[in-house]
């Protein structure tokens, strides 16, 4: 949510930003906010005037009574009653106007960073850099589910019976590999100075609307029936919500946190074969990074966060690239976003394994997360990034570490978490 002062003083800039995001249907919202805000401020001014009048007339009543001028006293009382009635109507109108303004402000997209490439959708995202050499071995690489099944590591049929499509059972060494990667990711981030957290896995609606757009919520979140609770789609939701309505002293910043959680997502829509299996699923686990910092520090933290993910994947012998998200691919709260994509030797292309986002002060403004500075309080900036999200990440891991005989290499960094195993072999 942007600062309403920006809409008051520079509505054309806000409209130009909407056009850059190819959301022209939202242009009318800016004019509506300007009109509602003008009426709201006029109502506030009128209300302040009436309160002053009411106080002045109320003081006169006692004087009239002391003088025995009952007629004047009664006339003054009538004036006070008329003022009170008008004030009540004004206050109700102010509430309506505030709600109308907020509804529109929650939908107007955040101002994107000047460095964001302009494009309509993810097909116009821009490659930034590659890390590691994308390699295709001289033997055929099976579909990732087939690799897992050959290692007795996955049971999709049973999961469909118990839970439906988009769920899975992981077993044996593949299940152990899944847990090992998460444990390694936890320690990797702790070693980089982040504080480890395990957050609540359900959050209230006011937190949901504070951390994401309505469109994202509708497409992602599972609601608990009969409760004001939603299952989280990522631990970023509850981690940012932790600081709701708080004032953080400058000397306590930045907050650098890494959190583990299961994640639950609707994942609306149909997908091709490569997005079946464990690519696009309703439940998965993730290690996340979250930073809350001063506004001037957020660009540098953005780079640090995605660099952590690149470094993590390279320690597991997985080539990756970074992809700058274009304006049309940015969620409404984001100022800037960059995807980390892993190389798939089977598909001979990269696919997304993590996303790094700078949300500016959008979440902080919605949730009331302020910083106490020497010259007063101001809104914090929030950032988040995926460290790793298995089991999707297992696709890249298995394909890039597969041997011709069907066994899977365990990179050196991961071996302590796999009980010293150097390879996963077929039974």
Q: What is the pLDDT of residues 39-75, one digit of tens each?
A: 999 999 999 999 999 999 988 888 888 888 888 888 8
Show the tokens assigned to 427: 């039974």
Which pLDDT belongs to residue 84? 92
290 in the same domain as 175: yes
pLDDT mean over 104-114: 94
Q: Are strands 195-197 and 255-264 parallel, antiparallel or unpaired?
A: parallel
170 in the same domain as 66: no
- Per-residue pLDDT of 145-188, as tens digits, reads 999 999 999 999 999 999 988 899 999 999 999 999 999 999 99
Radius of gyration, CA atoms only, the chain:
28
Give the count of domains, the chain.
2
85 in the same domain as 58: yes
Closest C-alpha among 388, 422, 424 to residue 184: 388
Distance CA 332, CA 215 (A): 9
Parent domain of 76: 4-105
Active-site residue (options: 327, 337, 355, 357): 355
177 in the same domain as 44: no
Distance CA 364, CA 371 (A): 10
Residue 303 within a domain? yes
Give the E-state strand segments of 271-325 in sequence order. Answer: 283-293, 320-324
Residue 113 within a domain? no
200 in the same domain as 340: yes
Distance CA 157, CA 145 (A): 12
Question: What CATH number corresponds to the domain at position 11?
Answer: 1.10.287.40
357 in the same domain as 274: yes
313 in the same domain as 206: yes
Which pLDDT belongs to residue 242? 97
Stated length of the chain: 427
- Per-residue pLDDT of 342-360, as tens digits, reads 999 999 999 999 999 999 9
Distance CA 103, CA 93 (A): 15
Question: What CATH number corresponds to the domain at position 256?
Answer: 3.30.930.10
Active-site residue (options: 186, 242, 321, 392): 392
Residue 156 within a domain? yes
Which backbone phi and psi does 178 adopt, to 5 degrees? -55, -50
Percent of the chain with pLDDT over 70: 97
Percent of the chain with pLDDT over 90: 87
Question: Which single residue is written with the structure tokens 């988040």?
Answer: 384
Domain finish residue from 105, 140, 163: 105
Burial 150-182 (b: 16+ CB within 10 A, else e): ebebbebeebeeeeeebbbebeebbebbbebbb
Residue 96 within a domain? yes
243 in the same domain as 333: yes
pTM of the model: 0.89
Active-site residue (options: 192, 280, 314, 415): 280
CA dihedral of 186, 386, 230, 224, whole degrees rounded to 10: -70
- The question of whether 46 is a catalytic residue gets the answer no
96 in the same domain as 187: no
Burial 81-117 (b: 16+ CB within 10 A, else e): eebeeebeebeeebeebeebbeebbeebbbbbbeebe
- The question of whether 352 is a catalytic residue gets the answer yes
Q: Are strands 320-324 and 230-231 parallel, antiparallel or unpaired?
A: unpaired
343 in the same domain as 292: yes
Give the E-state strand segments of 106-252 in sequence order. Answer: 126-131, 154-155, 169-170, 195-197, 202-203, 222-223, 230-231, 246-249
- The question of whether 265 is a catalytic residue gets the answer yes
- Give the angle subtended at the CA of 392 by the CAs of 171 and 362, to the nearest 5°: 135
- The question of whether 355 is a catalytic residue gets the answer yes
Residue 15 within a domain? yes
Residue 221 within a domain? yes
- Per-residue pLDDT of 288-314, as tens digits, reads 999 999 999 999 999 999 999 999 999
156 in the same domain as 88: no
Distance CA 222, CA 204 (A): 12
Distance CA 425, CA 19 (A): 54
Active-site residue (options: 104, 186, 242, 265): 265
Which pLDDT belongs to residue 67? 86
- The question of whether 54 is a catalytic residue gets the answer no
DSSP designation for 327? G
Residue 114 within a domain? no
295 in the same domain as 199: yes
As a 3-state breakdown, the chain gives helix, strand, coil percent values, each rounded to 5, of 50, 20, 30
Which pLDDT belongs to residue 270? 45
Active-site residue (options: 352, 407, 409, 415): 352
Residue 117 within a domain? no
- Per-residue pLDDT of 376-412, as tens digits, reads 999 999 999 999 999 999 999 999 999 999 999 999 9
């Amino acid at each position: 949510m942007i600062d309403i002062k920006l809409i008051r003083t520079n509505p054309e800039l806000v409209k130009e930003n909407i056009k850059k995001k190819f959301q022209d249907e939202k242009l009318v919202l800016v004019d509506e906010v300007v009109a509602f805000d003008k009426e709201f401020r006029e109502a506030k001014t009128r209300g302040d005037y009436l309160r002053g009048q009411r106080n002045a007339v109320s003081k006169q009543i006692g004087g009239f009574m002391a003088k025995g001028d009952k007629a004047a006293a009664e006339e003054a009382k009538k004036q006070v009653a008329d003022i009170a009635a008008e004030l009540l109507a004004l206050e109700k109108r102010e509430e309506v106007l505030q709600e109308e303004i907020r509804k529109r402000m929650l939908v107007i997209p955040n101002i994107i960073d000047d460095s964001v490439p302009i494009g309509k959708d993810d097909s116009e995202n821009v490659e930034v850099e590659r890390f590691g050499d994308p390699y295709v071995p001289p033997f055929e690489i099976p579909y990732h589910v087939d690799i897992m099944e050959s290692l007795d590591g996955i049971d999709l049929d049973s999961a469909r019976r118990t839970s439906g499509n988009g769920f899975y059972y992981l077993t044996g060494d593949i299940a152990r590999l899944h847990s090992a990667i998460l444990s390694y990711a936890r320690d990797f981030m702790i070693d980089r100075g982040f504080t480890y957290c395990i957050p609540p896995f359900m959050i209230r609606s006011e937190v949901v609307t504070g951390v994401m757009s309505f469109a994202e919520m509708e497409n992602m979140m599972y609601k608990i029936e009969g409760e004001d609770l939603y299952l989280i789609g990522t631990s970023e939701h509850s981690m940012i919500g932790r600081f709701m309505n708080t004032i953080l002293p400058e000397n306590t910043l930045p907050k650098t946190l890494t959190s583990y959680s299961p994640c639950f997502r609707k994942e609306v829509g149909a997908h091709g074969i490569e997005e079946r299996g464990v690519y696009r699923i309703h439940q998965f686990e993730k290690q996340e990074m979250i930073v809350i910092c001063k506004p001037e520090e957020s660009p540098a933290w953005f780079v640090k966060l995605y660099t952590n993910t690149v470094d993590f994947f390279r320690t597991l012998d997985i080539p990756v690239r970074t992809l700058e998200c274009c304006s049309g691919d940015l969620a409404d709260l984001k100022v800037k976003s960059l995807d980390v994509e892993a190389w798939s030797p089977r598909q001979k292309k990269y696919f997304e394994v993590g996303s790094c986002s700078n949300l500016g002060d959008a979440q902080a403004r919605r949730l009331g997360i302020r910083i106490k500075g020497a010259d007063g309080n101001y809104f914090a900036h929030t950032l988040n990034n995926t460290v790793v999200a298995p089991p999707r990440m297992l696709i890249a891991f298995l394909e890039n570490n597969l041997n011709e005989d069907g066994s899977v290499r365990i990179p050196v960094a991961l071996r302590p978490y796999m009980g010293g195993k150097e390879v996963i072999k077929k039974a």
